[in-house]
A and B are shown apart, each in its own frame.
Chain A
C-alpha cells in the first residue's frame, strides 16, 4: 500500500581526488619532498657523509652542520640524507615486492574460490599467525643479515597482508553483475581478471601498500638497529641509531634526527594513504 514517489534526492558531497582532502595534500607534498631528498642525495647533502673531521667529534649543531656531528666528526645531516636513501629504498622495494606477488595471489584466490582459494590462502594465513617482526628476524637468522635480506623479510611480512586485502575486494567485485555477465558471455577468466576485476579490486591494496610503505621504514630501522639489517659501511637510519647510542647524552642529535626522519615519513605515507582511500576505497573511508 505504500506510495511510489521518488525519495528526497540526497545531494552527496563528492570529495573526489586525492588532493581534495587536506591530509592527502599534506602527505603528498611531504612525500614528494622526501623522495626528492632521497633521489638527489648527492646534490642536497652539504658534506661528504663519510668525511671524518677530528676537530668536530660529537660537535653540536651550528650553521654549517645543522644536525651536528657524530663520534667521528662526520656531518649528521649528510649522513641522515644518505642513510635515508637506503632506508627508503628498502621500504619502497619491500612493499613493491610484496605487492607484486601478493596482489596476483590474492586476486587469483578470491576470483576462483574453492580449493584454489584454500591452497593459496591457508599458507598465507599461517604466516599471519606469527608475530611479524619475529618472522623477519627468523628469516634473517637463516639467510644472514643485510639490507637486501631486510628488504626480503619485510616483503614476506607484507605479502600476506596485501593478499588478504586484495582477496576480499576481489570477492566483492567478482560478485558484481558486470563480472557475472562477462562470465556468462564466455569471456576467458584471464581477460575478466585483467579487464574487470583488477581495475576495480586493486584500490584498497594500493591504499594499504602506501600505508605499509611508511611502516616499512620503522621495521627496517628496527632490524638495522639490531644489527640484522644494513651492514657497515652501508648506513641506514637504524644503523645510525645503533651507532649513536653510546653517545646519547653527549650528542643526542645523532639519535634525534634519524628518528624524526622516520616519523615524518610514516606520517606522510599515512596521510597520503588516507587521501588515496577517499578515492580508491570508498567503503573504507570510515575507519
Chain B
C-alpha cells in the first residue's frame, strides 16, 4: 500500500476506539447522575410505582454490561430509546433536529472559509493594508464571544433596523428565502470568530510556504506572482488549513448549542439544552451521541482529505 493509503487507513482505524469510548461515556451518563436518575427525571411527585415502571422501561434494573449491549445494539438499528415526556422515539426527534444543526454549521463554516481563506492568502502575499485589516479582524474574532455577537446582531438588525427576524425558523424545503432570513444572523454570529481563526491559520501557513526555497525558485523561473501565490503556495498550504477547518468544525458544533438556544433554532443543540433543563436524560444522551458522531465523521473526512492533499505524507515525513 502507498504511504498515503496507509495514512488514511490508520486514521480510519483510530476512529473505532474513539467511537467505542464515546458510546460508553454517553451510556454511562445516565448512571453517573448523582442519586436516583429516574427519581430526578420524574420529579418528587412521582410515585414509587411510576419510578419502578420507568426504571424497568429503561432497563436500569439489569446488569450494566447487559444494559450497554442492549443499548448499543439498539443504536446500530437506529433505536435511541424513547422520550419519556413526549413518548416519541428519540430517533424521530433527532431526525427532525439534525438538519437544522447541519445547515447552521455548514453554512457558518462555508462563510468562514470563503472570507477567511482569501483574506489570509492576501494578507500573507501582499503585506500592507490587507495585513493590518486582517490583524484587526483576528483580534476582534478572538475577543468577541459568538453568542454575544449574536445578541448584538439581534439588537441591530432585528431591534433597531428591523430587517431580519430576531429568532425562529422555517424549514429550508418549505421556504428557502425565509429559511435564509432566519439563519442569516445565527450564521454570521457563529462564523465570525471562525473566520478570524481560519484567516490566521491561512496567513500563518502561507507565510511559512512563501518563505521556502521552492517559492524563491519559482520566482527565479519568472513565474507570475499571482500564479505562485494561488497555484503553488496555496496548494502547499492547503493541508494545514484543511486540518484546522476540520478541528474547528467541532468548535462550531459546540457553538451551535448556544447559538441555537439564542435564536430559537430547533436544532440538536437546543434540544440538548432544553432536555437538560427537563432532566430528560434519554434525549440528552441521544443528542450528545449524534453531535459527537457528527464531529468524528467530519474529523475522518478531514483526515482523508489531508492524506490526499499533503505532499509530505507521500514522503513519509508526516505521521
On chain B, the residues within 8 Å of A266 by CB distance are 142-143, 145
Complexed CA–CA distance, A270 and B22 (Å): 32
Chain A residue at minimal CB-CB distance from B299:
A129
- Cα of A215 to Cα of B277 in the assembled complex, Å: 25
Interface of A is mostly: helix
Kindly provide the distance from the CB of A27 to the nearest chain B CB, expressed in whole angstroms.
12
Q: Pick from A137, A222, A263: contact of B272, CB below 8 A.
A: A137
CA distance A187 to B161 in the complex (A): 71
Determine the chain B residues whose CB is within 8 A of the CB of A140 once the complex forms: 276
Please, which residues of chain A bring their CB within 8 A of the CB of B253?
131, 133-134
Least CB separation from B193: chain A residue = A218
Least Cβ distance of B37 to chain A in Å? 9
Q: Does A158 contact B (CB under 8 A)?
A: no
Q: Which of B159, B160, B258 contacts A225 (CB 8 A)?
A: B258
Of chain B, the residue at the smallest CB distance from A217 is B145
> Contact between B273 and A226 (Cβ–Cβ < 8 Å)?
yes
**Nearest Cβ in chain A — how far from B141, in angstroms?**
10
Q: Does A259 belong to the interface (CB within 8 Å)? A: yes
**Chain B residues, Cβ within 8 Å of A4:** none
Q: How far is the CA of A287 from the CA of B205 in the complex (A)?
A: 9
Interface membership of A126, Cβ < 8 A: yes
Q: Does residue B296 face the partner (Cβ distance < 8 Å to A)?
A: yes
Contacts A132-B250, A142-B32, A287-B200; is A226 near B257 (CB within 8 Å)?
Answer: yes
Contacting residues, chain A, for B18 (C-beta < 8 A): 126, 129
- Evaluate contact between B152 and A141: CB separation under 8 angstroms: no
Q: A226-B273, A227-B277, A248-B154 are in contact. Are A130 and B144 (CB under 8 A)?
A: no
User: Chain B, interface size: which category?
Assistant: 35 or more
B257 to chain A, nearest CB (A): 6
Does the CB pair B292–A241 fall under 8 Å?
no
In whole angstroms, what is the CA distance A286 to B200 when docked?
12
Does B63 interact with chain A (Cβ within 8 Å)? no
Residues B155 and A255 in contact, CB atoms below 8 Å apart: yes
Q: How far is the CB of A104 from chain B (nearest CB, A)?
A: 23
| Complex interface: chain A residues within 8 A of B9 (CB) | none
B32 neighbours in A (Cβ, 8 Å)? 142
Q: Are B258 and A248 in contact (CB under 8 A)?
A: no
- CB pair A134 B254 closer than 8 Å: yes
**Most chain A beta-carbon contacts within 10 A, residue among B145, B160, B277, B284:** B145
Q: Which residues of B contact A145 (CB under 8 A)?
A: 276
Q: A226-B257, A226-B258, A255-B155 are in contact. Are A263 and B251 (CB under 8 A)?
A: no
Give chain A nearest CB distance to B282 CB in angstroms: 11
A227→B22 CA distance, assembly (Å): 25
| B254 and A133 contact, CB distance less than 8 A | yes
* Extra 18 A-B pairs, beta carbons < 8 Å, given A131-B251, A140-B276, A226-B258: A123-B21, A133-B251, A133-B254, A133-B255, A134-B257, A134-B295, A138-B288, A143-B33, A221-B145, A225-B258, A228-B273, A241-B147, A248-B155, A259-B151, A263-B143, A267-B139, A267-B143, A270-B143
A-B contact pairs, 12 of them (CB 8 A): A122-B17, A126-B22, A130-B295, A133-B251, A133-B255, A134-B295, A137-B254, A141-B281, A142-B29, A262-B145, A262-B148, A270-B142
Top 9 A-B pairs ranked by shortest CB distance?
A: A133-B254, A259-B148, A249-B159, A131-B250, A263-B143, A131-B254, A218-B145, A131-B253, A141-B276
Binding site for B on A (CB under 8 A): 122-123, 126, 129-134, 136-138, 140-145, 218, 221-222, 225-228, 241, 245, 248-249, 252, 255-256, 258-259, 262-264, 266-267, 270, 286-287
